[in-house]
Amino acid sequence: MPDLAIDVRALTKSYGDVHAVKGIDLQVDAGEVFSLLGPNGAGKTTTVEILEGHRKRTGGEVSVLGHDPGKGDRSLKARIGIVLQETGVERFLTVAEVIDRFRGYYPNPRPLDEIIEVVGLQEKRDARVRKLSGGQQRRLDVAIGLAGDPELLFLDEPTTGFDPSARRNAWEMIRNLKQLGKTVFLTTHYMDEAQNLADRVAIIVGGRIVAQGPPGSLVGPDAAKTAIRFRLPQGSPTLPGAAASAAAITGEQVLIHTADPVTLLHAITGWALDNEVALGELSVNQPSLEEVYLELTRPKEEADP
């Protein structure tokens, strides 16, 4: 397997005069979970469909597992798995029967019981598809994507509509895929999902990549600062100088962004002890991927050519 599962250079795609993808570079290492994030219409589906070989590019170079997906090479198709938002399957078959049917389409399918275990459907092995919950059906979609034992799996919004515990289970399933050495290309609108699962993310806006790297390393223009939050009871004395000048106060809520949290916290907590002020709900946070994302995807005033 090449070290890079996906290598994209200067990719462009236009639909007539709509320039959906405007020259992007993307590298995905073999064995990593990579997440492509971006607002509606940013160019995610276009990019993913080009990688999957379902759409022709306008320009640039694309290599997936060492092949150009634009050439429709059958041997490449057997090495990638695609999990779309909805897979139409025969609802009167059982889970095992459905997976087995798809296994039959591939030269080297993954053993049935292993697939069922990876997706956590052991207890539903003999249940009919129509009796599965929504979350269980999504797991079955992933199981189908694994039927041919692909090296690279494309997962399109795998947890949309899940309740919180079903999402945690699905995350566990995606971690299982990584353990198996699979490369996972994940599109999601949930930032916490990307933050928890992805080794690296890329954020695409208006057909251009605006940030790429491990989720914790991405830094937006104003997001490099630690956020200190607390509740200041009414009638409290004025905050010490450095805190007062940086604080955004809404009612009792105080929010301070700082590049030097240690010094500022020392000043604030010392002041609170001296003045016997209770700092309610005190929290100190790094900017989340969601904050960085919102910062980077905020619409600009000027038009993008």
CB atoms within 10 A of CB 51: 26
Q: Measuring CA to CA, which residue among 284, 222, 295 is closest to residue 255?
A: 284
Residue 8 CB, nearest approach to ligand ATP (Å):
14
Q: By the 8 A CB rule, do 229 and 264 touch?
A: no
CA–CA distance, 158 with 83 (Å, rounded to integer): 8
Cα dist from 296 to 21, 156, 191, whole Å:
17, 22, 13
Beta strand pairing call for 183-187 and 152-156: parallel
Q: From 2-10, 34-42, 178-186, 274-282, give the range in contact with ligand ATP by CB under 6 A.
A: 34-42
Nearest to 27 by CA among 59, 70, 62: 62
Q: Count residues contacting ligand ATP (CB under 6 A)?
A: 11
Q: Which residue in 33, 34, 44, 292 binds ligand ATP (CB under 6 A)?
A: 44
Stretch that binds ligand ATP, among 2-10, 33-41, 143-151, 277-285 (CB under 6 A): 33-41
Contact call for residue 15 and ligand ATP (CB under 6 A) = yes
Select from 18, 224, 255, 262 the one that contacts ligand ATP (CB under 6 A). Answer: 18
Report 45-84 residues binding ligand ATP (CB under 6 A). 45-46
Residue type, 293: Y
Nearer to ligand ATP, 85 or 285 (CB): 85
Contact pick of 41, 59, 181, 237 for ligand ATP (by CB under 6 A): 41
> Which CB, 205 or 254, lies closer to ligand ATP?
205
Place of tokens 């979609």: 141
Q: Which residues of this protein are in contact with ligand ATP, per CB under 6 A?
A: 15, 18, 20, 38, 40-46
